[in-house]
Structure 1
């Protein structure tokens, strides 16, 4: 699926547009609701940039491509967008898809600001078409990211669990680079703190068998490292209805309970399931204004993903105003940027051995839906 390019309020600017390519999951098996929130943030920011005069008097245009959570489709979209002459690439929610897009963008010399994917190894090596033995020791610095790396966020989530007394946990997981990475982070962190992680393979277990395994292992928490709605919803319903597991905590560090679809699928059963959310306790004044505009645009409360989309365009617009649409100059600008976003001041740095310019301290919360009021979120832990 290709969605038509959008350039809101471009009538207020003159000259040829400055184009940004946007990768967004808009059809299944992608998380469509997350895609809609991401796109709402991207489009709102583009509209506001154009209302303020665009990029040096030229309209900013968003050229959107649907990834449908397909890495190959995303890589092909990157190649198409590069041929269309976009100045930079933005977006994507799914980590494995973003990795494919980042790897291809880097190889093509196309700057990419990833909005919402957290996988630590966001670029597959090598990125320059040579054998691993002769590969460059690091990427060429064309890729930057707003969302925190998975290792940082999931270790903060582990700290929350350990602080709440959950040292022996189980994870229900499916085959995926992303879920395997999360399991490894948790296993290593719990082992370093005297805890254990038991893996339950959902390609071999039914939800009722998960309940039996939880009883056998005596785990006090079950983390859902699985897709939504299947098999996450059946697992939650089975555990909630098993009286043997009345005291067990369920969690979803990947953030599934953030979205209204979760609450619609599970009702009260979907409350009290902690997840990671990348928002501060208080939004910036810019963030408060954007929150209102996003709520009107979405007809519901915006998720953190919508703010990530808005911040992505805000950063790229700042770069384009300062450095023009030259791809090399955009990529070179990452370490010198300091941009006010909806969730704080955005600056990029890179740790030794990393291939990605990273917003150093994006806000991280552990949050759940309040059982007494499932539409309200409770902040349980911050990092």
Structure 2
């Protein structure tokens, strides 16, 4: 499905619009709830930019394409959006999809500000065209490893599925934990039933199980099986990729979904800007007052950074790409500046705030901050 361009307040402005191509997972097998939050943040910021005069009097316009978590579809969308004349690309939640989009954008010479993809190697070679707001996986997952060590969880099992993203996460954890007395064993979630996985956890003497798998399948059945197994009452279930952040998780699992630590890219306290944007995002995300996830804030920050870049340096693609090292923009989660981080192939915000958070077992709609990095 291709989503038609979003006017995002453009009808209130004069002159030709400045188009931005937005890559968002809006259909399965994409993580659609994350996509909805990301698009809410992008769209809110576009409307605020247009309400304040646009880009030198020209309105911003989002041209949205649904990636459906498909790298080939994303690469094709980049081609299409480039032909439509977008000034830059924004968005994408799934890291493997973001990598495909970044590689194609680099090849075509289209600047791409990646909102949420975290793979360290977002492109094979260093590039001037791509910048990223989300932290690199090696940075945030090492923080998660420190949390596990601090909780005295050293025998780690990971339920995993074939994916560059999951394999990279397993490697980061193993490399970080091994020198500190920890170990990581991988369990194939495609080959093992949830019950057989529970047996393997007992056999391995695991003290923590990390869910490096898709949501809701097979993550939800695995959690239910582990919670129901009396042999595993003391095991910590973790989900570093952030599955418990979203309301869909709580709706599917209820109390069983609480007490499962995950990574979240928010400060412990939002400042006035973050509070204002958070309130607006909450209103935008539904009548129930659904809390905005960190992904929604990433979307808002993405557009705000790009708007500042285009107001200062123009809408020419090369000018946008050349501006990354000169960015200094106040975002919802702190001042955004891009630099070259060791081992990272793109311009990187080093670093966004990182938390390890869970849903409070006593009040599953409330989040507890367990560790910060």
Q: Is the 8 A contact 1:263 1:374 kept in 2?
A: yes
Match of 1:302 among 267, 270, 292: 292
Which residue of structure 2 aligns with residue 202 of structure 1? 189
1:288 positional shift: 0.5
Which range moves more in the overlay, 18-27 or 277-286? 277-286
State how far apart, in whole Å, the 1-side matches of 2:8 and 2:115 are. Answer: 20
Q: Is the 8 A contact 1:7 1:46 kept in 2?
A: no
State how far apart, in whole Å, the 2-side matches of 1:354 and 1:171 are. Answer: 25
Which range moves more in the overlay, 256-265 or 1-10? 1-10
Which residue of structure 2 aligns with residue 130 of structure 1? none
Which residue of structure 2 aligns with residue 173 of structure 1? 160
1:50 maps to 2:83? no
The two structures have a TM-score, normalised by structure 2, of 0.98
Q: Is the 8 A contact 1:170 1:199 kept in 2?
A: yes
1:173 positional shift: 0.4
State how far apart, in whole Å, the 1-side matches of 2:195 and 2:11 are. Answer: 58
The two structures have a TM-score, normalised by structure 1, of 0.96
Task: Specify the SS of the correspondent of 1:224.
Answer: strand
Q: CA RMSD in A?
A: 0.8
Which residue of structure 2 aligns with residue 261 of structure 1? 248
1:352 positional shift: 4.2
Q: Deviations over 1:272-321 (max 9, x none)?
A: 00000000011121111000000000021100000000000000000111
Query: Aligned pair count?
Result: 370
Match of 1:366 among 342, 356, 367: 356
Q: Deviations over 1:15-35 (max 9, x none)?
A: 000010000000000000000
Which residue of structure 2 aligns with residue 133 of structure 1? none
Spell out the pairing of 1:82-93 with structure 2 (5 A cutoff). 82-93=82-93
Q: Deviations over 1:237-261 (max 9, x none)?
A: 0000000101110000000000000
State how far apart, in whole Å, the 1-side matches of 2:9 and 2:36 are. Answer: 20
State how far apart, in whole Å, the 2-side matches of 1:140 and 1:204 are. Answer: 38
Unaligned ranges ≥5, structure 1: 126-137
Task: Specify the SS of the correspondent of 2:210.
Answer: strand
State how far apart, in whole Å, the 2-side matches of 1:354 and 1:174 are. Answer: 25
1:354 positional shift: 2.9
State how far apart, in whole Å, the 2-side matches of 1:353 and 1:360 are. Answer: 12
Q: Is the 8 A contact 1:343 1:363 kept in 2?
A: yes
Q: Is the 8 A contact 1:173 1:225 kept in 2?
A: yes
1:353 positional shift: 4.7
Which residue of structure 1 aligns with residue 261 of structure 2? 274
Match of 1:329 among 315, 319, 336: 319
Q: Is the 8 A contact 1:95 1:118 kept in 2?
A: yes
Which residue of structure 1 aligns with residue 7 of structure 2? 7
Q: Is the 8 A contact 2:159 2:210 kept in 1?
A: yes
State how far apart, in whole Å, the 1-side matches of 2:332 and 2:343 are. Answer: 29
Which residue of structure 1 aligns with residue 272 of structure 2? 285
State how far apart, in whole Å, the 1-side matches of 2:141 and 2:197 are. Answer: 22
State how far apart, in whole Å, the 2-side matches of 1:140 and 1:373 are. Answer: 45
Spell out the pairing of 1:210-249 with structure 2 (5 A cutoff). 210-249=197-236
Which residue of structure 1 aligns with residue 135 of structure 2? 148
Spell out the pairing of 1:344-363 with structure 2 (5 A cutoff). 344-363=334-353
4+ runs deviating over 3 angstroms:
none
1:20 maps to 2:20? yes
Q: Is the 8 A contact 1:12 1:53 kept in 2?
A: no
State how far apart, in whole Å, the 2-side matches of 1:352 and 1:120 are. Answer: 10
Unaligned ranges ≥5, structure 2: none
Q: Is the 8 A contact 1:349 1:360 kept in 2?
A: yes
Task: Specify the SS of the correspondent of 1:90.
Answer: strand
